[in-house]
Amino acid sequence: MTKNLYKGNFNWCGQLFILYTQTNSENIAFNNFCKQLTKKVGYSFNYVRNYFLQFNRDGYLITLNKRG
């Protein structure tokens, strides 16, 4: 099965990060983006993930860039 290319725009405390990942679903892409952000912002995976999921925060956008 081929993977799709996803683009993620994440607003972390006013700083915009544009990230890319290849995977089969948007849910997995979100987790991959959170893992990438942990390295950039210095917080744990759970902290970063909860930052975007808590309170239905509108701080990110994931788009399908290219189908596999």
User: Tens of pLDDT along 3-62?
Assistant: 999 999 999 999 999 999 999 999 999 999 999 999 999 999 999 999 999 866 679 999
- Residue-number span of the structural domain to which 34 is assigned: 20-63
1 or 11: which leads in pLDDT: 11
Dist CA 10 CA 37 (whole Å): 9
- Give domain status of residue 4, yes or no: no
| Tokens read off for 42 | 């210095």
How many domains does the chain contain in total? 1
Residue 25 Cα distances to 10, 14, 19, 20, 64, angstroms: 18, 27, 15, 13, 9
Half-sphere exposure of 17 (CA within 13 A, CB side): 19
For residue 44, the SS3 value is coil
- Give domain status of residue 56, yes or no: yes
What per-residue confidence (pLDDT) applies to 68?
72
- Give domain status of residue 2, yes or no: no
pTM for this model (two decimals): 0.91
What per-residue confidence (pLDDT) applies to 26?
95
Dist CA 64 CA 11 (whole Å): 18
What per-residue confidence (pLDDT) applies to 67?
86
